[in-house]
């Protein structure tokens, strides 16, 4: 059994090295890793996937998707963790990957949505001390996300989420958030992913928040 596992590990690493020569293999591995990500709900499984995506990004230096998904894993690991220092450590690691991805595609809407999600993660570490600064940072990132791709449903969902937890004194609150949740529903319905590796998350979460906070307002 150990020999078999060792053989699979060598095969995986060999495939990573050869991505530049065999683009179809890159796609096959990335699709497999993306599917695994949908089922990953623990820190250890997310860490393994983050490492895999990082290896892929080291081989495919001109592509933003591996960097995006590695960062996405770390952001989610932060949400799953309880220790504040550990949370920040995961977010620091995610920020490194986002920065690298933005160097490749500085106008990619999905990267700014993920940046906003990271800022929301920063807020959760210490809400009382961090909420004001990070709400503004997240809002700025989401403005860019919507401007670069007005059809991106996650940009509207995350804007709604950001407003929902913002004080009414600075334009936030339930009534401010609901139009964005509603628009996000429409965008999720109409959206056709640009690429098989494009992010697709958020639809169910957006619908749940709309049902909870907005069904009576609308």
SS3 per-residue string spanning 8-45: HHHHHHHHHHCCCCCHHHHHHHHHHHHHHHHCCCCHHH
Q: Say what the alpha-carbon torsion angle 127, 148, 196, 56 is, to the nearest 10 degrees.
A: -70
Residues 163, 205 contacting (CB under 8 angstroms): no
Mean pLDDT within 118-122: 97
Residues 44, 56 contacting (CB under 8 angstroms): no
Instruction: List the Cα angle 148/153/157 in 5-degree steps.
Output: 110
As a whole number of Å, the CA-based R_g of the chain is 18
Instruction: List the Cα angle 36/37/41 in 5-degree steps.
Output: 110
212 conformational bin, left if phi > 0, alpha if psi -120 to 50, beta if neither:
alpha
Note the CATH number of domain 109-218.
1.25.40
Mean pLDDT of all residues belonging to the chain: 90
Place of tokens 């949370």: 87
Give 69-98 pLDDT, tens digit per residue.
999 999 999 999 999 999 999 999 999 999
SS3 per-residue string spanning 149-178: CCCCHHHHHHHHHHHHCCCHHHCCCHHHHH
What pLDDT was estimated at residue 77?
A: 98
What pLDDT was estimated at residue 23?
A: 80
What 8-state DSSP symbol labels residue 42?
S
What pLDDT was estimated at residue 169?
A: 85
Residue 22: which pLDDT band, with cuts at 50, 70 and 90?
very low
User: Three-state SS for 127?
Assistant: helix
- What are the residue boundaries of the structural domains of the chain, listed by start? 23-106, 109-218
What pLDDT was estimated at residue 146?
A: 98
Question: Does 4 score more than 50 pLDDT?
Answer: no
State the pTM of this model.
0.88
Q: What stretch of H or E contains 95?
A: helix 84-104
Instruction: List the Cα angle 168/153/30 in 5-degree steps.
Output: 130
How many residues can be counted in the chain?
A: 218
Cα distances (Å, whole numbers) of residue 179 to 56, 161, 164, 182: 38, 11, 11, 5
Residue 218: which pLDDT band, with cuts at 50, 70 and 90?
low
What pLDDT was estimated at residue 216?
A: 75
The encoded tokens of residue 57 equal 């990004």
Give 122-134 pLDDT, tens digit per residue.
999 999 999 999 9
Give 104-117 pLDDT, tens digit per residue.
999 999 999 999 99
């Amino acid at each position: 059994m150990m020999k078999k596992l060792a053989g699979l590990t060598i095969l995986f690493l060999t495939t990573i090295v050869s991505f530049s020569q065999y683009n179809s293999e890159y796609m096959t591995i990335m699709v497999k890793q993306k599917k695994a990500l949908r089922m990953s709900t623990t820190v250890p499984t997310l860490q393994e996937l983050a490492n895999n995506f990082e290896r892929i990004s080291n081989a495919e230096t001109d592509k933003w998707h591996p960097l995006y998904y590695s960062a996405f894993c770390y952001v989610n690991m932060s949400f799953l963790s309880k220790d504040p220092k550990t949370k920040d450590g995961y977010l620091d690691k995610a920020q490194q990957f986002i920065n690298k991805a933005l160097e490749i595609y500085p106008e990619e809407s999905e990267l700014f949505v993920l940046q906003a999600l990271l800022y929301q993660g920063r807020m959760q570490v210490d809400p009382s001390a961090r909420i004001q600064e990070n709400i503004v940072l997240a809002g700025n990132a989401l403005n860019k996300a919507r401007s670069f791709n007005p059809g991106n449903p996650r940009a509207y969902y995350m804007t709604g989420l950001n407003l929902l937890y913002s004080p009414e004194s600075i334009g936030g609150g339930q009534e401010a958030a609901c139009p964005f949740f509603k628009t996000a529903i429409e965008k999720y319905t109409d959206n056709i992913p640009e690429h098989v590796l494009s992010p697709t998350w958020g639809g169910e979460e957006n619908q749940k928040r709309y049902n909870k906070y907005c069904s009576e307002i609308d």
